[in-house]
Amino acid sequence: MSQDLPVTGYAILGLLTFGDELTGYELKQRADMTLRFYWVSPAMSQVYTELRRLTGLGLVRADARADGGREVTTYAITEAGQDALRGWTDATPAGFPVLKHTVLLRLLVGHAMAPEQTSRMLRDYLDELDAALADLHEVRDSLRGADRPGEAFRFPSLVAEWGLDYFAAEQRHTRRALASLAEHEAPGEPDTPPA
C-alpha cells in the first residue's frame, strides 16, 4: 500500500526482478546498460539514496557482508517489493513518454542559427546514433538465447528491439532533415567539398 515511490525507485525494483542480488555499484552498471536507453541512468549517489529508502520501506532486503577488509552490501527484492512493483505497473495509466530532445529543440529555432551549424549538429547526432546503436546491438546480442517465449529475458529483448528500431528511425529523420537543408540552403556549393 505504501505506493508512490519516484519512478526511479520502481526502476531499481525492476532491475532486481531478474533473480540476482546486486550491490549498488552493480545496479548502476546494469542501469547504464539498459535503463539508460528508455529512462535515465541515475547517478551513483542517487542509486544509494534510493536503495536506502527502499530498504526502509521493506521493499528490498539489504545483505551486508564483510568482503575482506570492506563492507559490501547486496540488495534483493522482497515479496513486498514485488507487490509494490506490480501495484505500480497495474495501477498507473500508460503515461506518455517524456522526450528531452535537444537536437529537435535546436532544429526548431533553426532560423536563428547559422545554417552550417544546424547541419553540423545533425551530423554529430548521426554519429551519436551510430554509437548508441552499436551499444544497444551488443546488449541485444548478449540477450540472444535467453529470450525465447517462456524465458527470462524475453521482455528485455523485446525492448531492445524497440530501441534499435527507434534509433534507426531517428537516423532516417536526421538524414531527411539534412537533405531538406542541403536542398535549399546550398543550391550551389556543397557543405563538404569532395576532397
Residues forming the site for DNA (CB under 7 A): 5-9, 23-26, 29, 40-46, 48-52, 67-74
Adjacency order of strands within the sheet including 60-67: 22-23, 70-77, 60-67
Helix H segments across 115-153? Answer: 115-143
Q: Which does 65 bind (CB under 5 to 8 A by kind): DNA, a copy of itself, none?
A: none
Q: Give the orientation angle of helix 79-91 with respect to helix 7-15, to 10 degrees.
A: 130
- Shortest Cβ 134–a copy of itself spacing (Å): 13
Residue 75 class from Cβ within 10 Å (0-12 exposed, 13-18 middle, 19+ buried)?
A: buried
CB closer to DNA out of 51 and 84: 51
- Return the SS3 of 74: strand
- Shortest Cβ 72–DNA spacing (Å): 5
> What is the C-alpha separation between 107 and 121, in angstroms, rounded?
9
- Shortest Cβ 69–a copy of itself spacing (Å): 36
Interface size with a copy of itself, residues (CB under 8 A): 67
- Shortest Cβ 161–a copy of itself spacing (Å): 8
The C-alpha cell at 5 is: 515511490
The C-alpha cell at 142 is: 548478449
Q: Which residues bind a copy of itself (CB under 8 A)?
A: 7, 10-11, 14, 17, 34-35, 37-40, 82, 85-86, 89-90, 92-114, 117, 121-122, 124-125, 127-128, 132, 149-150, 152, 154-156, 158-159, 162-163, 165-166, 169-170, 172-173, 176-177, 180, 184
